[in-house]
Amino acid sequence: MTRRKLIAGNWKMNGDLAALAELDGIAAAAAANPGVDVAIAAPATLIAAAAGRGPDLAIGAQDVHAADKGAHTGCISAAMIREAGARFSIVGHSERRADQHESDAEVKAKAETLHRYGLNAILCVGETLEQRDAGQAKAVVTGQLAGSLPDGAGAAWLSVAYEPVWAIGTGRTPTVADVAAMHGAIRAKLRALIGEEADAVRLLYGGSVTGDNAMDLLGAGDVDGALVGGASLTAAKFVPIITAAAIIPA
Ligand code: 13P
């Protein structure tokens, strides 16, 4: 099964109109590496301005509400992000699971809403350091996956990102063997849940990915791309990750 590499950036609560200049270098790298899918999840305020910076660069959101519309002050709907030019959204990022207390059921509903609106989803899962130290990492991650996987999950619109919470923004990463083992466990769980379709679903690794470690992490078994935070904020840091993905055989 050949899966195209996907290198997605998550700008989190960073960036302003001036920062969009970085997208030009990123879009150029996307165009120069047609074997790699490149995406940026922008802050909601920048989606419209970021969309259309290059046909090879997909712009998305970092979250979406599960409801179509209504009395949800401060929230943003799938129709809204789509109209702004988003092609996808992240759902279930650990920062939202922690800060906004998002449950697996909410994350699942959000992913299903994205699909109804013709948008793609990057579904995040990952264990805390405490859970890893207690030997619960695989059980936690596969449990989150089972609880938050949308009905009708399909590889054409859904990717899964494994982001160990303790590796996010810390400069620490799991070993390549640990990443391969967890991605293998995620793939196996997906097979149990959705059958053969699981083999086409892209599994991204996220957590302190940089140009320096991208080759190793992207080369691990069952790793089909990366979800990148800090190193996605500038073209200088993000482009080397795109080019690393381009030279790793699918
Ligand atoms: P960092 O790459 O900054 O560790 O962030 C990873 C992440 O949370 C991406 O969603």
Nearest CA, atom 5, ligand 1: 229
For residue 90, the ligand 1 atom closest to its alpha carbon is 10
Query: How crowded is residue 72: how many other Cβ atoms within 10 Å of its Cβ?
Result: 11
What local confidence, expressed as pLDDT, does residue 54 receive? 83
What local confidence, expressed as pLDDT, does residue 235 receive? 98
Q: Mean pLDDT for the chain?
A: 97
Is 229's C-beta closer than 6 angstroms to any atom of ligand 1? yes
- Give the pLDDT confidence of 10-46 residue by residue, as tens digits: 999 999 999 999 999 999 999 999 999 999 999 999 9
2 band by pLDDT with thresholds 50, 70 and 90: confident
Assess whether pLDDT exceeds 90 at residue 213.
Answer: yes
| Arithmetic mean of pLDDT, 182-190 | 98
Nearest CA, atom 1, ligand 1: 229
Is 207's C-beta closer than 6 angstroms to any atom of ligand 1? yes
Assess whether pLDDT exceeds 90 at residue 6.
Answer: yes
What local confidence, expressed as pLDDT, does residue 207 receive? 98
Distances in whole angstroms, Cα of residue 224 to Cα of each of 4, 5, 96, 184, 237: 7, 5, 24, 12, 19
The domain 5-247 belongs to what CATH superfamily? Aldolase class I (3.20.20.70)
**What is the 228 CA–ligand 1 centroid distance (Å)?**
5
Is 206's C-beta closer than 6 angstroms to any atom of ligand 1? yes
**Annotated active-site positions, please?**
93, 163
pTM, full prediction: 0.98
- Give the pLDDT confidence of 121-139 residue by residue, as tens digits: 999 999 999 999 999 999 9
